[in-house]
């Protein structure tokens, strides 16, 4: 079951890195709310923040899936598996940005990579603090 969940999450990360979720595409979704000017203005103001927050969700969840899935003997914090899970998450984040660079309508953005790294690093810190 674990491998199926991990594969599903990686497929979700891959899907959200496609052209369907580029800045222009998500902006076109926001533009559909033109009939509600206040809500549309709020979405336009928060667009970048919402997009950045998804990087935190994607890669913190990926870290937890890798770490707790491979550290199933106990839920207590173990340094080496945590750092290994963090490193695998970083590799996935870099691979995601490289893939976006080669996908039409997307681009490699260092700030997106930084958000992905921060999501995994915050998850690592949470595992250390609460594990």
- Dump pLDDT digits (tens) for 88-121: 999 999 998 888 888 777 778 889 899 999 999 9
119's CB contacts (< 8 A; 6+ apart) are 55, 56, 57, 58, 59, 60, 63
CA distance 105 to 96: 14
pLDDT tens digits, 50-97: 888 999 999 999 999 999 888 766 667 888 899 999 999 999 999 988
CA distance 26 to 32: 10
pTM of the prediction?
Answer: 0.83
Alpha-carbon dihedral sign for residues 62, 64, 67, 69: negative
Query: Does 24 score more than 90 pLDDT?
Result: no
pLDDT for the residue 72: 66
DSSP 13-51: HHHHTSGGGSHHHHHHHHHTTTTSHHHHHHHHHHHHHHH
**Count of H helices and E strands in the chain?**
5, 0
pLDDT for the residue 63: 96
82's CB contacts (< 8 A; 6+ apart) are 67, 71, 124, 127, 128, 131
CA distance 35 to 84: 49
Please state the rounded mean pLDDT for residues 3-18: 88
Domain positions in the chain are 2-21+48-130
Nearest CA-CA partner of 65 in 79, 90, 85 = 85
Query: Does 16 score more than 90 pLDDT?
Result: no
């Amino acid at each position: 079951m674990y491998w199926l969940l991990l594969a599903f999450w990686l497929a979700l990360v891959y899907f959200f890195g496609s052209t369907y979720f580029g800045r222009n595409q998500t902006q076109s979704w926001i533009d559909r709310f033109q009939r509600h000017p206040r809500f549309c203005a709020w979405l336009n103001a928060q667009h970048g923040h919402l997009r950045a927050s998804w990087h935190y969700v994607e890669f913190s969840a990926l870290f937890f899936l890798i770490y707790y899935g491979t550290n199933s003997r106990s839920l207590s914090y173990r340094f080496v598996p945590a750092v290994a899970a963090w490193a695998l998450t970083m590799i996935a984040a870099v691979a995601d940005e490289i893939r976006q660079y080669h996908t039409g309508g997307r681009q490699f953005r260092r700030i997106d990579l930084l958000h992905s790294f921060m999501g995994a690093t915050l998850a690592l810190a949470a595992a250390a603090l609460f594990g």
